[in-house]
């Protein structure tokens, strides 16, 4: 019970911090981190994304993003299927965003950054 309460308080504090810092709307740091992670055509991040897409049955989704001139944002569960948890955690630490804000930002950015022309 105490552990659950602590988790809820931590989540609430993260949401407050996101609002106070504008984390829900400022994605520039996250975009820079994601661009670095994805790399060039054969970059490690891009290869991992495609490998995870194949394993999760999301390859058609990623191909659609790559072909669309302006792909729509995706869902949080798609982000967590395509990006390893340690990568998402690294982005969160690197940008100072909460875990939830990082995933929300990635849901907006990932479809665009899967394209080689960004």
pTM of the model: 0.74
Percent of the chain having pLDDT more than 90? 58
85 is a domain residue: yes
Total number of domains in the chain = 1
Residue-number span of the structural domain to which 101 is assigned:
10-114
- Where does residue 109 rank: exposed (0-12), middle (13-18), buried (19+ CB within 10 A)? buried
Read off the CATH number of the domain in which 75 is found.
1.10.10
What confidence tens digit (pLDDT) does each residue in 42-76 have? 888 999 999 999 999 999 999 999 999 889 999 99
Q: Specify whether the CB–CB gap between 102 and 90 falls below 8 A.
A: no
The predicted structure's pLDDT at residue 26: 55
CB atoms within 10 A of CB 28: 9
- Among 10-14, 64-68, 80-84, 113-117, where is mean pLDDT lowest? 10-14
- Asked if residue 5 belongs to a domain, the reply is no
């Amino acid at each position: 019970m105490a552990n659950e309460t602590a988790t809820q308080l931590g989540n609430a504090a993260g949401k407050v911090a996101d609002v106070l810092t504008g984390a829900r709307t400022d994605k520039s740091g996250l975009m820079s981190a994601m661009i670095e992670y994805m790399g060039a055509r054969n970059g490690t991040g891009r290869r991992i994304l495609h490998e995870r897409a194949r394993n999760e049955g999301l390859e058609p989704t990623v191909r659609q993003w790559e072909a669309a001139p302006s792909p729509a944002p995706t869902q949080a569960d798609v982000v967590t299927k395509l990006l390893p948890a340690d990568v998402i955690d690294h982005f969160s630490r690197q940008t100072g965003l909460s875990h939830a804000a990082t995933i929300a930002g990635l849901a907006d950015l990932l479809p665009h950054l899967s394209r080689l022309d960004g």
